[in-house]
Structure 1
Amino acid sequence: MSSIDPKSSRGYRNRNPGNIEHHERNRWLGLADQPTDGRFCRFTEHRYGIRALALLLMAYYDRHGCDTVAKIIERWAPTHENPTRSYAVAVAQRLGVRRDDRINVHDPHIMHGLVSGIIRFELGGLPYSEHELWEGLELAGFRRPKPAGIAEAAATDTGKGTIAATVAGAAAVASQAEPVIDALGRLPWQAAVALVIAAAIAVLIWRARRS
């Protein structure tokens, strides 16, 4: 795996992060007007390249019996021009399985791990956000799993944005309520802020009910 900036790689420039070779019979959704750079596909948007990568992996699984990371990577990156074994080891480690463990690529978690692992190896890193990855996977027919709990939800892009907005809003309320907080005496500041925010919410609810 290269140490170059993944955004300077051929696959990223082609919006084809799996480095899928161009064949006339494969008229992928989102192919560019000039669909090849001479060997590899060129897409108009990254999500179309991610979609094509996921669809090919499903074809390997459904049509060719590639039900382990080793079988998938041996077909994806044959040994005559790739370090196939180390490639498979890297992808399997990302998935948390062994090279020869059976997997189901129709599981969205498995497909996400395969796609992100292959992209990392092909481009020398992962230049995409979770949102961008799931845009491509959803185009391939996958539904993004709902977070299992608060901690996992907080780790998502949406969760991080919500937390940031909540913190910013709390800070604004707290700054406007400094005189009130001062009047609360020696309560820990976290408790004081919580009380002020709770009071503000109660007022908003009361007003909504009266309107």
Structure 2
Amino acid sequence: MSNVPRGIRNNNPGNIRLGDKWQGLHQEQTDKSFCRFIAPKWGYRALFIIMRTYEKKHRLCSVREIINRYAPPVENNTEGYIQRVAKELNVSPDDCVSVMQPDVLFSLADAITRVENAGQQPWGIKEMQEAYSLI
């Protein structure tokens, strides 16, 4: 089980750090740094809320702006992350995208999941649609 990426083990597709009291958190938080959710839909719900907050509250719209905030250079290869996500979304890193559109939000979440989990993506549209119905 240890060779399974952390985000997958924790039902946390975006590797969201502990801090906020998200809905769907597992009663036992066995990871001292990252949230553990009871099901992936709850991890996606949290990721969707973060992405929508970035657009609504912080007025971030490009992949570059979003990922710079989400995965800052102090602990990540942020430029590589930006390039990979932009490529998966088939946009330029500086193009404005709106996560208020479910298809954009799902594509962004899918790309983030792959980056955060060593290229793995065990979940799909079903979990994202369930998560979207919870926000």
- Under a length normalisation based on structure 2, what TM-score does the superposition of the two structures give? 0.92
Kindly indicate whether residue 130 of structure 2 is the aligned counterpart of residue 138 of structure 1.
no
In structure 2, the partner of 1:22 is: 18
Matches within 5 A, 1:88-127: 88-124=82-118, 125-127=120-122
**Matched AA of 2:73:** T
Q: Distance in 2 between matches of 1:33 and 1:103?
A: 35
Greater CA drift, 124-133 or 73-82: 124-133
Matches within 5 A, 1:1-211: 8-23=4-19, 26-35=20-29, 37-124=31-118, 125-140=120-135
| C-alpha distance 130-93 of structure 1, shift in aligned 2 (>3 A) | same
- Under a length normalisation based on structure 1, what TM-score does the superposition of the two structures give? 0.60
Structure with more relative contact order (C-alpha pairs < 8 Å, separation 6 or more):
2
Contact 1:22 1:36 in 2 (8 A): no
Which has a greater percent of strand? 1
**Matched AA of 1:77:** A
> Which structure has the greater CA radius of gyration?
1
Q: Percent of counterpart pairs with the same letter?
A: 38
**Pairwise CA distance, 1:63:** 1.2
In structure 2, the partner of 1:153 is: none
Partner SS for 1:80: coil
Unaligned runs of 5+ in 2: none
**Cα shift readout 1:169-208 (whole Å, capped 9, x = no counterpart):** xxxxxxxxxxxxxxxxxxxxxxxxxxxxxxxxxxxxxxxx
Unaligned runs of 5+ in 1: 141-211
Q: Distance in 1 between matches of 2:76 and 2:30?
A: 21
After TM superposition, the runs of 4+ consecutive aligned structure 1 residues lying more than 3 A away are none
Which has a greater percent of helix? 1
Q: Distance in 2 between matches of 1:45 and 1:12?
A: 10
CA RMSD of aligned residues (A): 1.6
